[in-house]
Chains A and B, each alone.
Chain A
Amino acid sequence: MVVPTIQLSVISILLAALLIICIVTIAILYIKYKAVQRRNLQIEQQLLLSQMNPHFVFNSLTAIQSYIFRNEAHLASKYLASFAKLIRLILENSRIELNSLEREVTTLKHYLELQALRFEGRFEHKIEVDEQVDIDNVQIPPMLAQPFIENAIEHGFIHISEKGMLNIRFLAENKNCLVIEVEDNGIGIEKSRQLQMEKGKGHRSLATEITQERIRKIKCSKGINIEMSIIDIGTIDITRHGTLVKFKIPV
């Protein structure tokens, strides 16, 4: 009866080893899962903060205050309502991964209205939606282009002689692909970076960083492969200046 005992002990050792391997694997997977979760939460928080940038929030409110002191009750309440709508949409956006294009355009309209109020006369803006785009049914990640729009308004239009122009376009490249373009006639991303460097602020583009992280995350969770490109218009056509940011989103 010696042989079976040995067999038994071999089996039990194997079983024990297997069990340990299983536990270790599960533990590693769990730790990785937690790390991914933490990173995702970080991205979400960063995103919310970039959309509800305190500087934007408090300066917009101060701009609205100027209408109150001018006794322009109508305009004051109009901008205040716009501000409230924007904040509500941003808070709702933070809970969803995809948004209808219709809501996206509404959000951007409120956002641009307030930015135009803050920087009165600095720039004009236009939002175009291609007729072929099904605005009610196309779903896109909310406010993907917002960090670049903010950059254009707050940093791009300084040091240019003509009036700032900001064009946001939603185009149907084909039936399965939506293109978002943000084009401005500012100083261009290259020069803007240079200026930041000269000011001694080791410049890292937060807009680009956050957006790339986000695109990676969307690819993981939804399998949607978004392409992003940033072009300094001056590098293609030296007679012009500005920045063109382009997203290609499969829909």
Chain B
Amino acid sequence: MLNAVVIDDESKVRETLKQMLSIYCPNINVIGEADGVESGHRIITTQNPDVVFLDMQMNDGNGFDLLNKFSPINFQLIIVTAYQEYAIKAFKFSAVDYLLKPIDPSDLISAIEKISASYNQTETKSKFDALLSNSINHESTSKKLVLKTINGIHVVDTDTIIRCESHNNTTEFIFKDNAPVRVSRTLKEFEDLLADCGFIRCHQSHLVNQKYIVKVMRFPTPTIRMTDNSEIPVAIRKKDLLKGIEEKR
């Protein structure tokens, strides 16, 4: 049995979530609710719940304002949000789970299953540290990216990634200083995420950080040389990208 609190400024939304939890997640016991940042902070400190369902946009502030009051975060968090583009991007960077309103019962069940299966305090802490740092610098091009592997999680600065390479459905990250990391997510997901951080998809299997391009070669085939001395092929239909890169340099 896990004790949970629900924080959302709209009573109807709290009601729906409580009803869904009682139907689909019998192992969750809702012990309290709150309608804002202040009351949410109070209820978490007094009730000490295992799980917090948190709405991102509330009347007296947003979910990040509330999370910032806790250090370290010693509860499991499930973010529930209607819509907020930059926030959703921040969740993806930090590999934090979130639910979209109206909530799909199967999404709710799988989010609860994930929580019940594993609770690793250090991992949770690093994910939220990354999330908060990204939420503060949500306009900066350098972000903290959380990579989940079988051995645990890695929090990396997007600025230190030289390039990403896809192998089947996994993606390998090559860094400036650290050993490569391989995660079981597709390159496409990272292409979308890293587009604003100066990364370009020059080839079906390659995503490169423009910052680390050393040289652009056109002959015999279009190729980019990176600072790690790798030579990355450029797809014929992406040749126009090279012009853009050369002009910027």
Please report A residues at the B interface, Cβ cutoff 8 Å: 54-55, 57-59, 61-66, 69-70, 117-121, 154-155, 158, 199
Are B59 and A63 in touch, CB under 8 angstroms?
Answer: no
Contact A62 B13 (CB under 8 A): yes
Q: A58-B101, A59-B101, A158-B59 are in contact. Are A65 and B82 (CB under 8 A)?
A: no
Report if B10 contacts A (CB, 8 A): yes
Closest 9 A-B residue pairs measured CB to CB?
A: A54-B83, A63-B12, A58-B82, A69-B19, A66-B16, A62-B102, A58-B101, A62-B101, A61-B102
The main secondary structure of chain B at its interface with chain A is mixed
Cα distance A121–B11 in the bound complex, in angstroms:
10
Known contacts A65-B102, A118-B10, A158-B59: does B16 contact A55 (CB below 8 Å)? no
Q: Of the candidates A54, A69, A120, which one forms a contact with B11 in the assembled complex, judged by CB atoms under 8 Å apart?
A: A120
Q: Is B25 an interface residue (CB 8 A)?
A: no
A120 and B12: CB pair below 8 A? yes
Q: Whole-angstrom distance between the alpha carbons of A125 and B82 in the complex?
A: 25
Across the interface, name the chain B residue whose C-beta is closest to A158: B59
A58 to B56, CA, bound (A): 13
A69/B20 in contact, CB under 8 A: yes
Report the nearest A residue to B13, measured CB to CB: A62
Task: Enumerate chain A residues within 8 angstroms of B241, measured Cβ to Cβ.
Answer: none
Whether B181 is near chain A, meaning CB under 8 Å from some CB there, is no
Q: Which of B12, B20, B61, B100 has the most CB of A within 10 A?
A: B12
Considering the complex, give the chain A residue whose CB is closest to the CB of B81: A58
B1 at the interface (CB under 8 A from A): no
Nearest-neighbour CB distance to chain A for B64, whole angstroms, equals 12
Question: What 1/0 flags go to B52-84 for Cβ under 8 Å of A?
Answer: 000001011100000000000000000000110
- Across the interface, which residues of B come within 8 angstroms of A154, CB to CB? 59
Is the CB of B240 closer than 8 A to any CB of chain A?
no
A69-B10 CB under 8 A given contacts A54-B83, A55-B57, A55-B82: no
Q: Which residues of B lie under 8 Å from residue A118 when comparing CB positions?
A: 10, 12
In the bound complex, what is the Cα–Cα distance between A154 and B9 (angstroms)? 11
Q: Which residues of B contact A57 (CB under 8 A)?
A: 82-83
**A-side contacts of B57, CB under 8 Å:** 55
Which single member of B12, B15, B83 contacts A55 (CB below 8 Å)?
Answer: B83
A66 to B, closest residue via Cβ: B16
Residues of A within 8 A of B13 (CB): 59, 62-63, 66
